[in-house]
Structure 1
Amino acid sequence: MKEFSTEKAQLISGRLLYQSVEASNFRHHQRRAGLGSQKHHQKNKKEVRNFMTVFAGLDVHKKYFHATAMDKSGDILVQEEFPNETEGYDSLLKETGEEVKVAFEATYAWEYVYEELEDRVKEVKLAHPKRTEVITKERIKTDVRASEALANLLRTSWLPEAWIPPKETRKLREKLRRRAYLVWKRTGFKNKIKVDLAKHGIRRDFSYSEEDKEWLRSLDIDSVNDYLDMIVALNKPIERITKKIKKEARVDEGAKLVMTIPGVGPIWGLTITSEIGDIGRFPSSKHLCSYSGLVPSTEQSGSKEVHGSITKEGNKYLRWAAVECAWLHKQHADDTYILRFFKRMAARKSGQTAAVATGRKLLTTIYWMLKRGKEFRPQG
């Protein structure tokens, strides 16, 4: 994993943006002197293909993206807006050629852009959104400046990169996250039924067995019937996806190792390993915990150092899975060093705080299990 200093990012970004402004001023003087005519600009576009490597930064939006392409010396070759669709990427590559390195930020729809480009260009890199905030928080923020700064960072090898999972891992993650979303929705409808029953003064423990579902419908409460219909509808895709995941977990070597931890089943085992990806990209267990956002925030001034709540910056699915597995381990483990740690923490802190701390300890354990290819050892 490549470490990136925020201070260095600010320094280099400021320097690069300054150079970008200077270059713009130079081109402005060229145009005034008659050297930057439209004909000259068109000539530059045609000559892009002659350069060994072109560096392009994309500022991607829902319907369009703005691209800035430059050569090794930082001279801008292309600076245009294109539609965010296949034809737009075709048009960009017609101007840059395929010997181009491309960088763009890891937005919510990054996979579409990546798949459009991965087999057609020299290299595609994903910029870490948090670490490129120094770019996006410029006082004068435009698509042009954002794409130009990304191209500059790529050209100078200062781009703070985000890891791009292999295609199979991306598919597995999507499947697990889709299941998680459907389960969250189903739980929400179950909670709504409890609330509506309480509004009618009905307080009774029940499950969602066929017998209890008949009882719920016999109450003839419209809202309860509607929520129950949604729960029944969600059961089918959840069960179908669950079967597929369990089948995949049985052949995944990493998931099989993680499942040796008491309380961790196929769903959580595969969720953890797919969200971690290649364990080799983490130099230490601390880096993995930091990636999950389970490390305490720290404020330091002089000799004073204060630790606060966890950062919650990083992979929220891995963080969620680690904490849930901590609770499950507490329920199913007999006597392990992880369970003893949970109990010690719970005696001094709240149960939730203990679960979070135990989730971090579990991730540390999982890191070494995957790194060494060893099963869980209850006594450490």
Structure 2
Amino acid sequence: MIIIGCDYHPSFQQIAWVDTEIGEVQERKLMHADGEAERFYRQLTGPVRVGLESTGNCHWFVDLLAEMGQEVWIGDAARIAAKQVRQQRTDRRDAVHILDLLIKNDFPRIWMPSKQERDQRQLLIHRYKLVTLRVRVKNELQHLAMNQGMQKGRKLWSQAGQKQLLELPLAHWAGMRRQDLLELLKKLDQQILVLDHAVKKAAEDNEKARLLMTQPGVGPITSLAFVLTIGDASRFQRGKQVASYLGLIPREYSSGGKQRLGGISKQGNRFLRMLLVEAAQVAVRYDPKFRKQYQHRCHYKPKAVAKVAVARKLAIRLFWMLRTNTKYPEVVRIESSSRVALAE
């Protein structure tokens, strides 16, 4: 078997590899643009295992190795770096270090979504980016209206509000700006509507997403994002691990027997964390248990903190729904503590 430690960069990669039958370690730098890297991997015979740190802009490379039938291991970059004692880091040393972890079976491998799951993630991200652009366009139009003394808030987007906006007497370039922004807003609305239908269809076609949508406050976007981010729920033994994975647990700076907790860690998927907080605001209106917990925390905590606490509870409940394949409201009766492992 050939084992390869790869220090990946967008334009090149530094590799260190060993044939387990021979035991000799070799090193090489492979360029991407001229196809040198692809030619090298295609000429390899027999079983091949390639390990690299989790990094961006490497999907083409991972897909290429999968197409060749070679085994790809993606590792936690922070844990790989923590295992390296020396403070002097180079591409060659990083590649040899990854190879050493693979040989010792100490490589911190992480879960990776499939190609289809990555593509569905792009659907959600694309919609989110367009919605963000639409908000910016609306804010610019609100600014134009308020500069003319018209303050209507969200009523500006009603038919009457749009008519008043068009009738505002503006100077030449301000009028051009209004016209362009309104055309851009119309185009964004059309594009987002198409993506909304696509997300709804993808969620309805996904059995796990349909299960999560039985929870009040969780719609197609949140359910699909949760399924695509969590992946195989069995890789988590406790709900607390899911909350930590999503960055919904507090930072901790405890020492000398004194516990010090800060704000949430904000590690993990920022997009899903935002969706969970939004979903939590709806869940507290329709879910009695969440509403009680939210109102209780509001007595001694700011509302923003209470919302995040409910988002954490919601994430744990969604995890248990996936883990036990149980719909709402049945999951409420069997919902386990976040600190208790699920019995196999």
Separation (CA, whole Å) in 2 of partners of 1:86 and 1:368: 48
1:48-67 matches, within 5 Å, as 53-67=1-15
* Residue matched to 2:24: 75
User: 3-state DSSP class of the match of 1:304?
Assistant: coil
User: How much does 1:365 deviate?
Assistant: 0.9
Match of 1:215 among 135, 151, 164: 164
User: 3-state DSSP class of the match of 1:130?
Assistant: helix
RMSD: 2.4
The alignment of Structure 1 onto Structure 2 pairs a total of residues equal to 325
User: How much does 1:94 deviate?
Assistant: 5.2
1:176 aligns with 2:124: yes
User: How much does 1:74 deviate?
Assistant: 6.3
User: How much does 1:168 deviate?
Assistant: 2.1
Match of 1:120 among 59, 62, 68: 68
User: 3-state DSSP class of the match of 1:250?
Assistant: helix
Does the 8 Å contact 1:101/1:123 carry over to 2? yes
Q: 1:341 corresponds to which letter in structure 2? A: Q
User: How much does 1:162 deviate?
Assistant: 2.1
Match of 1:290 among 234, 238, 244: 244
Does the 8 Å contact 2:225/2:272 carry over to 1? yes
User: How much does 1:377 deviate?
Assistant: 2.2
Q: Report the TM-score when normalising by structure 2.
A: 0.86
1:278 aligns with 2:226: no
Separation (CA, whole Å) in 2 of partners of 1:74 and 1:305: 49
Match of 1:247 among 171, 185, 201: 201
Separation (CA, whole Å) in 1 of partners of 2:304 and 2:23: 52
1:341 aligns with 2:330: no
Q: 1:128 corresponds to which letter in structure 2? A: D
User: How much does 1:126 deviate?
Assistant: 0.7
User: How much does 1:137 deviate?
Assistant: 9.2
Q: Which runs of 4+ in 1 moved over 4 A?
A: 135-138
User: How much does 1:257 deviate?
Assistant: 1.9
Q: Report the TM-score when normalising by structure 1.
A: 0.78
Does the 8 Å contact 2:84/2:97 carry over to 1? no
Match of 1:158 among 102, 106, 127: 106
User: 3-state DSSP class of the match of 1:125?
Assistant: strand
Does the 8 Å contact 2:75/2:110 carry over to 1? yes
* Residue matched to 1:39: none
Change (3 A) 1:207 1:159: farther
Q: 2:151 corresponds to which letter in structure 1? A: R
* Residue matched to 1:13: none
Separation (CA, whole Å) in 1 of partners of 2:106 and 2:250: 27
Q: 1:120 corresponds to which letter in structure 2? A: M
* Residue matched to 2:191: 237
Separation (CA, whole Å) in 1 of partners of 2:324 and 2:131: 33
Separation (CA, whole Å) in 1 of partners of 2:262 and 2:42: 52
User: How much does 1:86 deviate?
Assistant: 8.1
Percent identity of the aligned residues?
Answer: 27
Q: 1:148 corresponds to which letter in structure 2? A: V
Q: 2:236 corresponds to which letter in structure 1? A: F
Q: 2:248 corresponds to which letter in structure 1? A: L
1:372 aligns with 2:329: no
User: How much does 1:241 deviate?
Assistant: 1.3
Name structure 2 gaps, 5 residues minimum: 334-344
Does the 8 Å contact 1:89/1:116 carry over to 2? no
1:200-219 per-residue CA deviation (whole Å, 9 max, x = no partner) reads: 43312324345533433333
1:353 aligns with 2:305: yes
Separation (CA, whole Å) in 2 of partners of 1:107 and 1:266: 28
1:69-102 per-residue CA deviation (whole Å, 9 max, x = no partner) reads: 124486322x222222582332322564452210
